[in-house]
């Protein structure tokens, strides 16, 4: 058995996938690739408004001033084809991309269809059609013993059509199902031959004598038994959606509305392939012609639409562009689901996605140099560090203390920011040596003065630095660390 999935008005469905509310309105699809753009598809409401094929956009607007003009887009059709193939792949691994908007499945080997009863096939086809509806694809499905019959059943049937009597089904089809040439169509119309059954009744030889070799092709297309091998393919792991705005957008709301639809359609496609989102690639086409691309790494790969949309929303709140947006593309780079087994005393973040979302919001509020994990730089300068994004996967393990260690380091309690201090130095000394100080932390004469410890760096660059440090103890017993730099004296911290 074979199943054929046809998407009627495929170019129009591809163009309206992200605007399904327009199906109830008058919409005409124009092919801009033609030398003179003309209407190639239209909705039912447009048909009722006297819109026909071949009209120019101006003519269509003259017939119906409320008609909406949409342009045919190869990018939209590629996305719709990927969605169709990936959705069908979840029901049968043997599939063929027969034509734009037409996919043929080989149902051999499917355990649930082992008993090919019509009611079982109908339930299976209903689930297939419902799964494609998630991607905003309105499909017609035909199931028959041969690929050719399945294609006819999908095209000329009503929604879901199961062919149980191939001979009777072929005979009931209109002659147009065989796709004859225009000349042959006119001849058959003059003969009064409306159905395939009446054509077959004339006999192949008699028709061939009058119509020539094209009659052989017509009778071959009408064969209820002729079969062919499928050109089996595997859908590409391409998870992307794109949209071209008719009018450039300058606010965030329409962009977020569209991205939510993108995420809702891409995540089921990830689920069919057993994948999760590892990275989001957002590309905005600007009216100025310059693209704006952002890559967002998913902290913990997932296919939860709420989580992915929250990441996009948080990031877009910080994006500013120099011109309006005309196109938007969202691409998901798939990854394999992670399965971790933690050790007995190892803990994990309760919600890594929410944690990263909080980090992103703080970064947008405070700046990237103020949020993250501090990492020491390769320098002798005190407090020389930089902020990097938290990486719990590769974080170094905390060093365990050795049992029986006699000497333990003295704790230095840093003052941030360092406290300015008035220092009295010893007169006549070669280097400034503190003998007394006065600040909010301590005051009075010094009992113990150790130092100075001198350090400097980057003397060959504009950012050169130098400093002298002392560890001092006051008469009252406070132990402090003093620092002297070109801009004055400061108390860096207190030693316990």
Nearest to 206 by CA among 195, 215, 198, 197: 215
Residue 274 sits in a domain of what CATH number? 3.30.1490.100
Cβ 222 vs Cβ 207: under 8 Å: no
Does residue 109 sit in the same domain as residue 182? Answer: no
Residue 84 sits in a domain of what CATH number? 3.40.1170.60
Nearest to 360 by CA among 374, 372, 349, 348: 372
CA distance 254 to 438: 61
Q: Which two tokens stand for residue 284?
A: 């905005």
CA 454 to chain centre: 55
Domain contains 378: no
Domains held by the chain: number: 4
Nearest to 84 by CA among 2, 160, 8: 8
C-alpha atoms less than 13 angstroms from C-alpha of 474 in its C-beta half-sphere: 19
Does residue 245 sit in the same domain as residue 216? Answer: no
pLDDT at 1: 87
CA distance 306 to 264: 9
Domain contains 343: no
Cβ 5 vs Cβ 101: under 8 Å: no
Domain contains 232: no
Secondary structure of 394-455 in HEC code, one letter for each residue: CCCCCCCCCCCCCCCCCCEEEEEEEEECEEEECCCCCCCCEEEEECCCCEEEEEEEEEEEEE
Q: SS3 breakdown of the chain: % helix, strand, coil, rounded to 5? A: 35, 30, 35
CB atoms within 10 A of CB 484: 22
Does residue 133 sit in the same domain as residue 50? Answer: yes
SS3 152: helix
Running DSSP on this structure, what letter comes out for residue 195? B
- For each of the chain's 496 residues, which pLDDT tens digit applies? 899 999 999 999 999 999 999 999 999 999 988 888 999 999 999 999 999 999 999 999 999 889 999 999 998 999 999 999 999 998 988 999 999 999 999 988 887 787 778 888 889 999 999 999 999 999 999 999 999 999 999 998 888 999 889 999 999 999 888 888 888 888 888 888 888 888 888 888 888 888 888 888 888 888 888 888 899 999 888 899 999 888 888 888 889 999 999 999 999 998 888 888 989 999 999 888 888 888 888 877 888 899 899 888 888 888 888 888 999 999 999 988 766 555 555 555 566 667 767 777 777 677 777 888 888 888 878 778 888 877 766 666 655 555 555 556 778 888 888 889 999 988 876 678 899 999 988 889 999 998 888 888 877 787 788 889 989 999 988 999 999 988 899 998 888 7
Q: Which domain holds residue 429?
A: 412-495
Does residue 192 sit in the same domain as residue 116? Answer: no
Q: Which of 221, 255, 285 is the last residue of a domain?
A: 221
Cβ 19 vs Cβ 149: under 8 Å: no
Domain contains 72: yes
Helices (H), 273-414: 305-316, 352-366
Running DSSP on this structure, what letter comes out for residue 65? T
pLDDT at 79: 92
Q: Largest Cα–Cα distance of the chain, in whole Å?
A: 128
Nearest to 265 by CA among 14, 17, 36: 17
Does residue 38 sit in the same domain as residue 110? Answer: yes
Does residue 321 sit in the same domain as residue 247? Answer: yes
Model's pTM, two decimal places?
Answer: 0.71
Cβ 136 vs Cβ 15: under 8 Å: no
Does residue 257 sit in the same domain as residue 189? Answer: no
Cβ 357 vs Cβ 302: under 8 Å: no
Report which secondary-structure segment, H or E, holds 83. Answer: helix 74-89
Does residue 61 sit in the same domain as residue 84? Answer: yes
C-alpha atoms less than 13 angstroms from C-alpha of 93 in its C-beta half-sphere: 4
CA distance 92 to 422: 82
Does residue 160 sit in the same domain as residue 23? Answer: yes
CA distance 120 to 258: 37
Does residue 320 sit in the same domain as residue 203? Answer: no
pLDDT at 116: 74
Instruction: Return the beta strands (E) in 257-356 as ranges.
Output: 276-286, 291-302, 325-335
CA distance 425 to 353: 56
SS3 199: helix
Domain contains 373: no
Does residue 29 sit in the same domain as residue 116? Answer: yes
Q: Which of 335, 364, 389 is the last residue of a domain?
A: 335
Domain contains 210: yes
Domain contains 133: yes
Domain contains 81: yes
Backbone angles phi, psi at 416, to 5 degrees: -125, 115
Does residue 149 sit in the same domain as residue 7? Answer: yes
Nearest to 79 by CA among 129, 29, 128, 7: 7
């Amino acid at each position: 058995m074979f199943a054929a999935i046809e998407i009627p008005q495929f170019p129009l469905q591809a163009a309206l996938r992200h605007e399904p509310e327009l199906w109830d309105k008058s919409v005409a699809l124009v092919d801009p690739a033609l030398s003179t753009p003309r209407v190639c598809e239209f909705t039912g409401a447009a048909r009722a408004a006297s819109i026909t094929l071949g009209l120019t956009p101006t003519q269509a607007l003259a017939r119906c001033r409320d008609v909406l003009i949409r342009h045919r887009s190869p990018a939209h059709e590629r996305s719709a084809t990927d969605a169709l193939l990936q959705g069908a792949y979840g029901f049968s691994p043997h599939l063929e991309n027969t034509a734009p908007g037409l996919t043929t499945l080989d149902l051999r080997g499917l355990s649930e269809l082992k008993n090919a009863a019509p009611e079982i096939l109908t339930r299976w086809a209903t689930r297939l059609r419902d799964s494609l509806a998630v991607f905003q694809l309105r499909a017609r499905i035909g199931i028959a013993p041969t690929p050719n019959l399945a294609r006819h059943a999908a095209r000329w049937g009503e929604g879901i059509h199961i062919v149980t009597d191939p001979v009777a089904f072929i005979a009931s089809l209109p002659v147009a199902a065989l796709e004859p040439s225009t000349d042959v169509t006119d001849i058959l119309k003059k003969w009064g031959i409306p159905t395939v059954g009446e054509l077959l009744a004339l006999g192949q030889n008699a028709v061939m004598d009058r119509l020539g070799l094209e009659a052989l092709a017509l009778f071959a297309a009408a064969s209820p038994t002729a079969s062919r091998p499928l050109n089996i393919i595997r859908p590409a792991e391409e998870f992307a959606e794109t949209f071209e705005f008719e009018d450039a957008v300058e606010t965030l709301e329409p962009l977020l509305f569209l991205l939510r639809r993108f995420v809702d359609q891409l995540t089921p496609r990830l689920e069919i392939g057993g994948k999760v989102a590892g990275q989001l690639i957002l590309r905005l086409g600007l009216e100025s012609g310059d693209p704006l691309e952002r890559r967002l790494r998913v902290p913990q790969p997932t296919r939860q639409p709420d989580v992915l949309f929250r990441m996009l929303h948080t990031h877009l709140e910080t994006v500013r562009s120099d011109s309006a947006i005309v196109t938007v593309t969202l691409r998901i780079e798939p990854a394999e689901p992670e399965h971790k087994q933690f050790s007995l005393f190892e803990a994990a973040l309760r919600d890594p996605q929410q944690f990263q979302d909080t980090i992103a919001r703080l970064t947008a509020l405070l700046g990237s140099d103020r949020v993250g994990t501090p990492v020491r730089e390769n320098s002798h300068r005190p407090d020389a560090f930089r902020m990097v994004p938290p990486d719990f996967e590769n974080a170094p393990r905390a060093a365990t203390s050795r049992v029986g260690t006699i000497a333990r380091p003295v704790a230095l309690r840093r003052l941030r920011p360092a406290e300015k201090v008035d220092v009295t130095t010893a007169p006549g000394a070669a280097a400034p040596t503190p003998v007394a100080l006065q600040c909010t932390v301590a005051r009075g004469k010094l009992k113990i003065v150790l130092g100075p410890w001198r350090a400097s760096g980057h003397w060959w660059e504009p950012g050169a630095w130098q400093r002298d440090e002392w560890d001092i103890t006051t008469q009252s017993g406070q132990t402090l660390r003093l620092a002297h730099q070109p801009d004055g004296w400061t108390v860096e911290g207190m030693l316990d």
